[in-house]
Amino acid sequence: MLAIHNGISVQRSDVLAQLIGAKFTGHPPYQPLNYYGTAKDHPLLEGVEDFAVDEEPYMFEFDPFANIRIFLEYEFEGKRIPAGWERAYGLGKVVYLQPGHHAPSFKPAAYRRLILNSARWEGLSL
């Protein structure tokens, strides 16, 4: 499963929050954000450079029982905030990507490559 941006904000379903491994808690105003790969050896980041895009800085509450691997972060107020992670769920895998509020969010070639890598990904690194 690949969940992009507001796919996490459908929190009426506890099952969805458990599946994704976190739930959306809100966001400060829309603004320019810088994104950084945190696990450069991760196959999802193959060919993906750091990038910047105007976006909503989503905040999350992570499920303490979900074994997730964060591979993308954004910088906000001097801190790095998770923006992309993967996890195993049942017999499958889940990838969540925070950018994607509107069409310009998909302009950076690096982000389009990350989406393509996520859709093609066959292995779990957990």
**For residue range 96-113, what is the model confidence (pLDDT) as tens digits?**
999 999 999 999 999 999
Q: Which fold has domain 2-119?
A: Rossmann fold (3.40.50)
Tokens representing residue 59 in the block: 């905040």
Amino acid at 56: E
What is the distance, to the nearest Å, from the Cα of residue 81 to the centroid of all Cα atoms in its chain?
A: 10
User: Is-above-0.85 flag for pTM?
Assistant: yes
Over the stretch 47-87, which tens digit does the pLDDT of each residue have?
999 999 999 999 999 989 999 999 999 999 999 999 999 99
Question: Following DSSP, what letter does each residue of 18-67 receive, concatenated?
Answer: HHHTEEEEE----EEEEEEES-TTSGGGTT---EEEEE---EEEE-TT--
How is the chain split into domains, by residue range? 2-119
